[in-house]
């Protein structure tokens, strides 16, 4: 089906190239995508180490993730069009080179601010690299060979989601967090060398680029994200919080108006008039929002509160990847038989039940009894959801627009993760602050007050004290209890989001699928990329 869908949306002549050149091209695309996927999955494992080295507390950790997601989600649709204007090889090489250059800057960052800026630019490079990788495959391989080539590419991208946390955890155990970025450089250099084998397209399509739309999307999303992340430190009454929040909402409204009137919109709003497409993307938004926040805050909690090592915290989430790869396709076959609606509805509800089990997590986490059972149930629900979700979204669009439909679905997943991690971070910080202040004696001495102020800037962390006074010792225990309370509150919000995804699936989706779910691989995490037209982006990855 992958080759059939790509044939439907692709209008370019068949490529006739020597096998050796095609193999080198595929290797270059695999390596470029693998580096990007590996980097995005390994960062969450490194966040506690980065925070200890550069400071910034929970807000800094959020920005390291969200700066990348903001740039990637805002410019992914635009980046997918650039290959048609400037050529797939040029855009792919530019994305790889930019990603590598910013990896070096990340590795050498002297402060959390420099790292955040570098991560944002890395997201821009990812917005070029990700869609161009698929476009290169489609431009290189004739239709009869594309299915196998895309399958190989997706398989290696999937492997990165498994390797990332493990490799990152091992590197952090042996050397510095900086090596998780520096390790990219040799692979980037080799990828760029292989890019010389990538064929250059002779014809470029005349196309208007929706630069204004991308800028409005980035500014509109950036305002609320900034407000949510900085609010715990500045307060809702601060002009530095209210201004970006309100300004972002206004800009998002302007983005919607612009896209509805633009002749070549980045986001074709008319697609949302289709019921399955609209509800499928709404489910994607809240489901992937919950997933992004879950894996971010769970890894931080395991390291900073439960005392897990980086490697052990990376291993902790491995069952989710294993279950996804093993069961997504079988669940897709069942969805083809019984209808996608029940899987898009029941899957998230089962996943939410697994997450509810994780509310038992505290400062002492037994992996086998406290964490693994909940993760397995959650993973089963997720595996039951993602392939039917992809099929449901793509079936809602005309086959000729399958590429743009998958690209929109991808963007919704990225935006969901971006907004949810920022919003849930604000919830965690608010609960942490209230709980910590309620647990400490008052009034406090000047020294103790300074220690409290420092602790308030680091939710989901146990403060480091330099003395052993009763108040300081009680501060440590109070902060640990408050962090657990904050994590539980954030987890409840995640459970609500995942539950809403199930409700949207049950109430909104109609079983009229024309895209077989069994052939959707691991669902939205990888498969939507296989349906994208040469101008469009790959699909969302599962967070790690």
pLDDT band, residue 147 (cuts 50/70/90): low
- Helix axis angle, 372-395 to 402-439, nearest 10°: 150
Do 231 and 159 reside in the same domain of the chain? Answer: no
Establish if 438 belongs to a structural domain.
Answer: yes
Confirm if 97 and 106 have CB atoms less than 8 A apart. no
User: CB neighbours (10 Å) of residue 241?
Assistant: 21
Establish if 128 belongs to a structural domain.
Answer: yes
Mean pLDDT confidence for 73-100: 83
**Would you say residue 105 has pLDDT above 90?**
yes
Q: What is the pLDDT of residue 198?
A: 77
E strand or H helix at 83: helix 57-86
Burial class (CB in 10 A: 0-12, 13-18, 19+), 206: exposed
Do 13 and 152 reside in the same domain of the chain? Answer: yes
Do 224 and 336 reside in the same domain of the chain? Answer: no
Structural domain containing residue 256: 211-263
Tally the domains of the chain.
2
Taken as a whole, the chain contains a residue count of 544
Q: What is the 3-state secondary structure (H, E, C) of 405-448?
A: HHHHHHHHHHHHHHHHHHHHHHHHHHHHHHHHHHHCCCCCCHHH
Do 184 and 86 reside in the same domain of the chain? Answer: yes
Mean residue pLDDT across the chain: 80
Do 312 and 420 reside in the same domain of the chain? Answer: yes
SS3 call for 13: coil
Establish if 537 belongs to a structural domain.
Answer: no
User: CB neighbours (10 Å) of residue 204?
Assistant: 12
Lowest-confidence segment of 3-17, 388-402, 428-442, 481-495 by average pLDDT? 3-17
Give the contacts of 107 (CB within 8 A, at least 6 positions apart). Answer: 178, 179, 181, 182
**Would you say residue 532 has pLDDT above 80?**
no
Q: What is the pLDDT of residue 83?
A: 73
CATH of the domain at 164: 1.20.1250.20
Do 475 and 358 reside in the same domain of the chain? Answer: yes
Chain centroid, CA 461 distance in Å: 23
The larger pLDDT score, comparing residue 312 to residue 208, is at 312
**Would you say residue 475 has pLDDT above 70?**
yes
Q: What is the pLDDT of residue 395?
A: 72
Q: What is the 3-state secondary structure (H, E, C) of 352-371?
A: HHHHHHHHHCCCCCCHHHHH
Q: Report the alpha-carbon distance of residue 516 to residue 290 in Å, rounded.
A: 26
Mean pLDDT confidence for 320-324: 84
Lowest-confidence segment of 58-62, 141-145, 506-510 by average pLDDT? 141-145
Give the angle subtended at the CA of 232 by the CAs of 230 and 235, to the nearest 5°. 85
Do 294 and 376 reside in the same domain of the chain? Answer: yes
Which of 524, 126, 44 is CA-nearest to residue 293?
Answer: 44
Do 68 and 101 reside in the same domain of the chain? Answer: yes
Do 259 and 372 reside in the same domain of the chain? Answer: no
Give the contacts of 269 (CB within 8 A, at least 6 positions apart). Answer: 256, 259, 260
pLDDT band, residue 444 (cuts 50/70/90): low
Q: Report the alpha-carbon distance of residue 222 to residue 74 in Å, rounded.
A: 9
Burial class (CB in 10 A: 0-12, 13-18, 19+), 270: exposed
Establish if 453 belongs to a structural domain.
Answer: yes
Q: What is the pLDDT of residue 116?
A: 94
């Amino acid at each position: 089906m992958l080759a059939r869908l790509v044939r439907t949306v692709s209008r370019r002549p068949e490529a006739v190239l020597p096998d050796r050149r095609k193999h080198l091209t595929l290797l270059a695309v695999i390596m470029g995508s693998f580096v990007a996927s590996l980097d995005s999955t390994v960062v969450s494992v490194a966040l506690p180490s980065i925070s200890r080295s550069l400071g910034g507390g929970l807000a800094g950790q959020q920005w390291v993730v969200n700066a990348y997601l903001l740039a990637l989600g805002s410019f992914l649709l635009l980046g997918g069009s650039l290959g048609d204007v400037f050529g797939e090889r040029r855009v792919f090489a530019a994305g790889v080179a930019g990603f590598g250059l910013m990896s070096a800057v990340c590795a050498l960052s002297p402060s959390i601010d420099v790292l955040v800026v570098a991560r944002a630019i890395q997201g821009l490079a990812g917005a070029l690299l990700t869609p161009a990788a698929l476009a290169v495959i489609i431009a290189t391989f004739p239709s009869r060979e594309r299915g196998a080539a895309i399958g190989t590419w997706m398989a290696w991208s999937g492997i990165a989601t498994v390797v990332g946390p493990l490799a990152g955890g091992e590197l952090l155990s042996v050397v510095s967090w900086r090596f998780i970025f520096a390790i990219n450089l040799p692979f980037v250099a080799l990828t760029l060398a292989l890019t010389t084998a990538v064929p250059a397209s002779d014809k470029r399509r005349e196309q208007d680029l929706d630069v204004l739309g991308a800028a409005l999307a980035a500014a509109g999303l950036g305002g609320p994200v900034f407000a949510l992340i900085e609010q715990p430190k500045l307060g809702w009454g601060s002009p530095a919080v209210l201004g970006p929040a309100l300004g972002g909402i206004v800009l998002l409204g302007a983005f919607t108006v612009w896209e509805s009137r633009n002749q070549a919109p980045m986001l074709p709003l008319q697609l949302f008039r289709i019921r399955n497409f609209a509800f499928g993307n709404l489910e994607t938004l809240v489901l992937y929002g919950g997933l992004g926040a879950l894996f971010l805050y769970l890894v931080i909690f395991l390291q900073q509160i439960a005392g897990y090592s980086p490697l052990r915290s990376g291993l902790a989430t491995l069952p989710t990847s294993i279950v996804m790869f093993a069961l997504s396709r079988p669940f897709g076959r069942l969805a083809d038989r019984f209808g996608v609606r029940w899987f898009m509805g029941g899957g998230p509800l089962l996943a939410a039940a697994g997450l509810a089990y994780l509310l038992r997590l505290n400062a002492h986490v037994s992996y086998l009894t406290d964490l693994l059972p909940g993760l397995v149930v959650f993973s089963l629900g997720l595996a039951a959801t993602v392939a039917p979700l992809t099929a449901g979204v793509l079936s809602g669009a005309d086959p000729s627009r399958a590429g743009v439909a998958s690209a929109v679905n991808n963007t919704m997943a990225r935006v969901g993760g971006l907004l949810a991690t920022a919003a849930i971070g604000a919830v965690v910080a608010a609960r942490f602050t209230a709980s910590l202040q309620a647990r400490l004696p008052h009034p406090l001495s000047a020294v103790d007050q300074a220690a409290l102020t420092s602790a308030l800037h680091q939710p989901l962390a146990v403060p480091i004290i330099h003395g052993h006074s009763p108040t300081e010792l009680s501060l440590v225990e109070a902060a640990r209890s408050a962090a657990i309370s904050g994590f539980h509150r954030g987890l409840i919000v995640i459970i609500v989001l995942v539950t809403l995804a199930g409700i949207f699936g049950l109430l909104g989706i109609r079983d009229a699928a024309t895209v077989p779910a069994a052939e959707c691989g691991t669902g939205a995490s990888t498969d939507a990329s296989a349906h994208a037209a040469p101008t469009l982006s790959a699909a969302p990855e599962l967070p790690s």
